[in-house]
């Protein structure tokens, strides 16, 4: 077995001998007055200082509690002959990947017959469309006019969402009538802002105001 710090040398008689080798440190020789002995000071190594990266806490990533996003929109029916049915309307929030964050409201004809026309809100049905959501946030259809809905910044689990880009969705459809969809991104960070959303079909105007508390 080799001992650390030793090298193997060959002898003429074939036997293996261990020859000691020793690392030499730069030394400082110090003589004590009145003595003939000397002491050798071996410098000690200093470990390098390691700086750990700072981490971002969950609280730092999330938008501030008390923040609110208010969605304002106007619905105006395009003229048709005869009776005009009130529209079905859904308003909800998606994340940057297009996954549901929260449904704010669904207005529909709350009856067994009315479920036949819910699929006309085709994007909302694709991302949500659950019975639990209808029980929680649904209401009867509304006449044309201006409306406002608020989102408190929480997801389906009731937690404040992280800062970043989200999509505001406003969708409307009428039985035997027009289909309209507004889907626009908004950046939720630490600053308050107002975004003008483009009109589409019977959704004639819309804005989104974020109040960062």
Structure confidence by residue, pLDDT tens digits, 130-169: 999 999 999 999 999 999 999 999 999 999 999 999 999 9
Average pLDDT over every residue of 188-199: 96
Give the pLDDT of residue 85: 87
The answer to whether residue 44 scores a pLDDT higher than 90 is no
| Residue listed under structure tokens 């970043």 | 164
When mean pLDDT is compared over 12-16, 48-52, 128-132, 169-173, the highest value belongs to 169-173
Give the pLDDT of residue 4: 43
Average pLDDT over every residue of 119-139: 94
* CB-CB neighbours of 123 under 10 Å: 17
Q: Calculate the alpha carbon distances from 208 to 11, 34, 85 in Å.
A: 91, 90, 27
* Total number of residues shown for the chain: 213
Q: Calculate the alpha carbon distances from 41 to 25, 31, 36, 44, 160 in Å.
A: 9, 11, 16, 9, 61
- How far apart are alpha carbons 88 and 174 in whole angstroms? 6
Q: Which region holds residue 100: left if phi is over 0, alpha if psi is between -120 and 50, else beta?
A: beta
């Amino acid at each position: 077995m080799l001992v650390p710090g030793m090298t193997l040398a060959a002898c003429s008689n074939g036997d293996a001998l261990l020859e000691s080798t020793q690392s030499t440190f730069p030394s400082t020789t110090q003589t004590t007055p009145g003595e003939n002995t000397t002491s050798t000071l071996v410098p000690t190594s200093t470990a390098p200082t390691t700086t750990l990266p700072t981490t971002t806490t969950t609280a730092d990533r999330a938008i501030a509690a008390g923040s609110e996003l208010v969605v304002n929109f106007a619905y105006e029916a395009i003229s048709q002959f005869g009776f005009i049915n009130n529209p079905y309307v859904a308003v909800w929030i998606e994340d940057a990947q297009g996954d549901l964050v929260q449904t704010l409201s669904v207005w529909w004809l709350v009856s067994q017959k009315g479920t036949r026309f819910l699929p006309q809100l085709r994007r909302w049905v694709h991302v949500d469309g659950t019975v639990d959501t209808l029980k929680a946030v649904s209401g009867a259809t509304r006449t044309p006019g201006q409306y406002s809905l608020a989102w408190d910044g929480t997801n389906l689990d009731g937690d404040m969402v992280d800062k970043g880009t989200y999509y505001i969705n406003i969708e409307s459809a009428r039985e035997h009538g027009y289909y309209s969809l507004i889907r626009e991104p908004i950046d939720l960070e630490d600053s308050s802002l107002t975004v003008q959303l483009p009109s589409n079909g019977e959704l004639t105007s819309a804005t989104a105001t974020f109040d960062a508390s």
